[in-house]
Amino acid sequence: MSWLAADHLTLAYNGQPVIHDLSLAVAAGEVLGLIGPNGAGKTTVLRALIGQRAPRTGSLSLNGKNLRELSSLTRAQCIGLVPQGESLAWPLTVEEIVALGRAAHRGWLLPLSTTDRDVIKWALARTHLTELRDRPVDKLSGGERQRTLIARALTQQPSVLLLDEPTANLDIHHQLQVLDLVRELVTKGQLATVLAIHDLTLAARYCDRLVLLHAGRAIACGSPETVLTPDNLRTVFDVQAELYRNPFGQWSLSVQSV
Amino acid sequence: MSLSSKTPSGRASVKIPAFLALALALLAVLVFSLGVGAVPLTPIQVLAALTGEPTKASHSAIVWDFRLARVLLVCVCGGALGAAGAGFQGLFRNPLADPYIVGASGGAALGATLSVVFAGESGFGVPIGVAGFVGALAAVFIVYTLAETSGYGSVAALLLAGAAFSTMLSAIVSLLLLINDRALQEVFAWLLGGFGGRSWPQLWQALLIAPIGIVALWAMARPLDALATGEDGAQALGLNLRWARFVIIAGASLATAAAVAAGGLIGFVGLIAPHLARPLFGAGHARLIPASMLLGALLLLLADGLARTLLAPIELPVGVFTALLGGPFFLILLRQRGRLA
């Protein structure tokens, strides 16, 4: 059973087609990784998957319903987005940002209810932000910022989670911390998750399946070992690379230029 | 559980002492302001007159008939401009936005000019404040409609349309004033802003309209917070952008137009009040809107006091003071904080 599905999607940006004939589906509890070089269209696909960009052709469905026909509020109840490099105009506090996710359920005008407050408290605790809830966002580290955005998506209580480069600009420790958190949330909450990520090793370790985008087309789709083959990596990234199990039993990638 | 029940409604309460302090400061300045004028009164004499036990019978008349309505009107207008400034800055994600950013000033000026020119020619006309009010709202409505139907459909279109339309209206005003030089002085004096001669009728009018705008903006606090993440971000959180833009612009423009009708075009209050409020009360709009309102009232009350006393008995236009004091103040703020946030 797939929660979010794209069927023969063609997407255009400023009139130029950027994604051609893309089909993908994500099931509950599964992490699908979108990989590919910069400019391959990963962010464009995510923007389409939350229903903000109308596809030129093809269809998007959310649990069997046409995504484009749902209201923005209904979509926000089902899909939580963790955007990349979100810049805030004003230094709101962690809690103020996280609380914004509740509008999907509470609406924008009514004061937050006790239930809303409990969900916010829960989301802050799950992302280890309870202590930092009163801190303005401009006083946060990159990892704390990322966790704030994840917490906000959690308060939407979505069935689908979309993350755009959640490890960008994080050091290696925080990259692993954020992805461990995502993996744990996905498994426990049975979230259907799409993750755009450019680090191939992390993609192999944390995603159940991968879609490899190249020049707007999906040239491979499937488990990490079937997608990250030496041939595919040479075609797309122009590198000589091999995926192998390291001594910890995790996927690693050895890379050298051709 | 014991920990969480300690602060049930949470951190919002932390700012309550700050709000109380600000409200008290406003009341103190208000009482002081009531004592300022041709017959100076001490704060105690003012309080005595207010509570109905004046030390002299004439004090009661001075406070109630001549000063109270005007001083309260100044508070309402300053509050309306402060809240509107916070609303527009939030909508545009721009710290330089002010209450007149979507064309209210140009429209108000044109409305006022037309009323003076036509009243002069036909001997029949609408009060200049009413004409300014109608002009401001009409201009905002035109700018809003142009922007929403422009295909851009974003706040960028609003900014551009507002700037272009306002400039165009100002040009028409200049032209009209050149042709009718009789009207020049009256219109110019009104445009500079001031509360000379205003009394209870103007206060009731302002109280009828300004609170609607301020309450609408306050109700939109969370949409304004969401807009801080950008239009795409706010939409992903489920915000209907068209609806949010409409309510915020309508609320802020009603508040602005109410202030314009009462006091003319008073600059800088709406720009500065939110900048003062953010470091003190935080950037979240649930607190920023009321804080900007109180600070706007406080600022305009101070400026009006100066305008009345500096060259007494001549009363200077309060708009000149808000600009004279606000300009340098804004530059200092800019220098100290390094950035406008």
Please report, in tens digits, the pLDDT of each residue of chain A (258 residues total): 568 999 999 998 777 888 999 999 999 999 999 999 988 888 889 989 988 888 899 999 998 899 988 888 999 999 999 998 888 899 999 999 999 999 999 999 999 999 999 999 999 999 999 999 999 999 999 999 999 999 999 999 999 999 999 998 888 999 999 999 999 999 998 999 999 999 999 999 999 999 999 988 999 999 999 999 999 999 999 999 889 998 888 898 888 887
Indicate the residue of B219, B239, B283 with minimum beta-carbon distance to A91. B283
Smallest CA–CA distance, residue A139 to chain B, in Å, is 13
Mean predicted lDDT score pLDDT of chain B: 87
Query: By the 8 A CB rule, do A20 and A28 touch?
Result: no
Res B341 pLDDT > 50: no
Question: Over the Cα atoms of chain B, what is R_g?
Answer: 21
Q: Is the pLDDT of residue B2 over 50?
A: no
B9 Cα to chain A: minimum distance (Å): 9
* In-domain check, residue B175: yes
Alpha carbon separation from B112 to A116, A123, B126, B136, B170 (Å, rounded): 49, 54, 9, 10, 12
Q: Which residues make Cβ contacts (< 8 Å) with residue A180, sequence separation at least 6?
A: none
**pTM for this predicted structure:** 0.90
Work out how many domains chain B is built from and give that number: 1
Closest CA relative to residue B170, chosen from B155, B188, B158: B188
- Residue B214 in any domain: the answer is yes
Give which of A43, A142, A45, A130 is closest to A87, Cα–Cα: A142
Half-sphere exposure of B324 (CA within 13 A, CB side): 12
Which residues on chain A are in Cβ contact (under 8 Å) with B4? 121
Chain A residues with CB under 8 Å of B237 CB are 76, 100-101, 103-104, 152, 156
Residue recorded with tokens 């959310």: A62
Q: Is A51 on the interface with B (CB under 8 A)?
A: no
CATH number at residue B150: 1.10.3470.10
Nearest CB partner across the interface for A72, out of B230, B239, B284? B239
B124: confidence class by pLDDT, cuts 50, 70, 90: low
CB atoms within 10 A of CB A77: 17
Give the model confidence (pLDDT) of A129-154 as tens digits.
Answer: 999 999 999 999 999 999 999 999 99
Helices first, then strands: H and E counts in chain A? 10, 12
Per-residue pLDDT tens over the stretch B156-210: 888 889 989 999 998 999 899 888 877 788 888 888 888 888 889 999 999 999 9
What mean pLDDT comes out for the span B128-133? 89
Residue pair A28/A158 in contact by the 8 Å Cβ criterion: no
User: Are the Cβ atoms of A83 and B232 closer than 8 angstroms?
Assistant: yes
B341: which chain A residues are within 8 Å (Cβ-Cβ)? 89-91, 138
Whether B9 is covered by a domain: the verdict is no
User: Which residues of A are less than 8 Å from B284 in CB distance?
Assistant: 92-93, 96
What are the Cα distances from residue A167, in Å, to A91, A171, A179?
Answer: 22, 8, 8
Q: Is the pLDDT assigned to residue B258 strictly greater than 80?
A: yes
**Degrees, nearest 5: CA angle B258-B262-B263:** 115
Q: Which of A68, A100, A121 to mutate to test the interface with B (most CBs of B within 10 A)?
A: A100
Q: Does A77 touch chain B (CB under 8 A)?
A: yes
* Within-domain flag for B248: yes
Total count of residues recorded for chain B? 341
A113 close contact with B: CB closer than 8 A: no
End-to-end CA, chain B = 37
Does A88 sit within 8 Å of B229, measured CB to CB? yes
Helix (H, G, I), strand (E, B) or coil at A172: helix
CB-CB under 8 Å, A91 with B229: no
Q: Is the dihedral of CA B124, B106, B249, B295 positive or negative?
A: negative
Q: Is residue B4 part of a domain?
A: no
Q: What is the pLDDT of residue A112?
A: 93
Task: Quote the domain boundaries for residue A23.
Answer: 2-257
Q: Which residue has the higher pLDDT, B258 or B16?
A: B258
**Which of B11, B232, B244 is facing A95, going by the closest CB pair?**
B11
Q: Which residue range forms the structural domain that includes residue B48?
A: 14-27+40-337
Residue B265 lies in a domain: yes
So what's the pLDDT on residue B7? 35
How many structural domains does chain A have? 1
What pLDDT score was predicted for residue B196? Answer: 84
Phi, psi of A254 (to 5 degrees): -100, 130
CB contact under 8 A, B237 and A90: no
Q: Is the ipTM of this complex over 0.85?
A: yes
Candidates B282, B279, B286; CA nearest to B336 is B279
Tell me, yes or no, whether B236 lies in a domain. Answer: yes
Please say if the pLDDT value at position B319 is more than 80: yes
The contact set of B with A (CB < 8 A) is 4, 10-11, 14, 90, 93-94, 219-220, 222-223, 225-230, 232-233, 235-240, 244, 278, 282-284, 341
Closest by Cβ to B236, choosing from A52, A71, A136: A52
- Residue A21 burial by Cβ neighbours in a 10 Å radius (0-12, 13-18, 19+): middle
Question: What's the one-letter identity of residue A141?
Answer: S
Can you give the pLDDT at residue B281?
93
In this structure, is residue B222 part of a structural domain?
yes
* The pLDDT of residue B10: 41
The pLDDT of residue B37: 83
Residue A120, phi-psi category: left (phi > 0), alpha (psi -120 to 50), beta (remainder): alpha
Q: What CA–CA distance (Å, rounded) separates B102 from B142? A: 10
In this prediction, residue B340 carries a pLDDT of 44
Q: How confident is the model at residue B120 (pLDDT cuts 50, 70, 90)?
A: low
Whole-angstrom distance, CA of residue B167 vs CA of residue B266: 18
Which one-letter DSSP state was computed for residue B283?
Answer: S
Neighbouring residues of B9: CB distance < 8 A, sequence distance ≥ 6: none
Q: Do A89 and B93 touch (CB under 8 A)?
A: yes
Q: How far is B89 from chain A (nearest CA, A)?
A: 10
Per-residue pLDDT at B3 exceeds 60: no
